[in-house]
Amino acid sequence: MMRQQIARVAAALALAGTLGAAQTQAQTTPDDSLYRALGGLPVLQKVVDDFMASMLADRRIKHTFAESNIERVKQKLVEQFCQLSGGGCIYTGDPMREVHQGLKLSNADFNALVEDLQLAMDANGIPSHTQNRLLALLAPMQRETVSR
């Protein structure tokens, strides 16, 4: 009888330890669901290519890229979108406030950029609810980029 109780207690402790380890792992495993919903790196790269093309053609904001290294901008955007969406990338660019310092961007400029990003995501078949998840992560950057 005593052995059965000890066996039950041991089994319960083992189960509790397993559940605790699984819970700890779940808490430390990054959520990559948005990254996967966006289509992963190949789709992010295509979205950024289309996004950049839209911005460079957009009379409202194309002037802000006059002094930019476009290939570097695209590379940093891919890193940023990948990191924000949980894809495991690391953004290696400068802080947003520093990058946009002196550009005197307005809310209208920021809104034009968002519209161009939405068009690029639409063109790549990304559903609106997935777009909204990424846009929600990007929205706080408005405070760091808009200066007028």
CATH of the domain at 135: 1.10.490.10
Judge if 48 and 121 occupy the same domain. yes
Count up the domains in the chain and report the number: 2
pLDDT above 50 (res 26): no
Q: Taking residues 96-112, report their average pLDDT.
A: 84
Phi/psi region, residue 39 (left: phi>0; alpha: psi -120 to 50; beta: rest), is left
Judge if 66 and 6 occupy the same domain. no
Judge if 21 and 80 occupy the same domain. no
Judge if 82 and 118 occupy the same domain. yes
Q: Taking residues 90-95, report their average pLDDT.
A: 90
pLDDT at 134: 96
Judge if 135 and 62 occupy the same domain. yes
pLDDT above 90 (res 112): yes
pLDDT above 90 (res 50): yes
Q: Which residue has the higher pLDDT, 9 or 135?
A: 135
Q: Where are the alpha helices (DSSP H) in 29-127?
A: 33-38, 40-57, 70-84, 96-99, 107-123
pLDDT above 70 (res 43): yes
pLDDT at 148: 75
Predicted model pTM: 0.77
Chain centroid to CA 110: how far? 17
Mean pLDDT score across all residues of the chain: 84
> Which residue segment(s) compose the domain that 23 sits in?
1-30
The single-letter DSSP state of residue 63 is: G
Judge if 10 and 53 occupy the same domain. no
> Is 81 within 8 Å of 123 (Cβ atoms)?
no
pLDDT above 60 (res 7): no
pLDDT at 24: 44
Judge if 102 and 141 occupy the same domain. yes
11 — pLDDT class (breaks 50, 70, 90):
very low
> Is 82 within 8 Å of 48 (Cβ atoms)?
no
pLDDT at 3: 52
Judge if 47 and 97 occupy the same domain. yes
Judge if 5 and 78 occupy the same domain. no
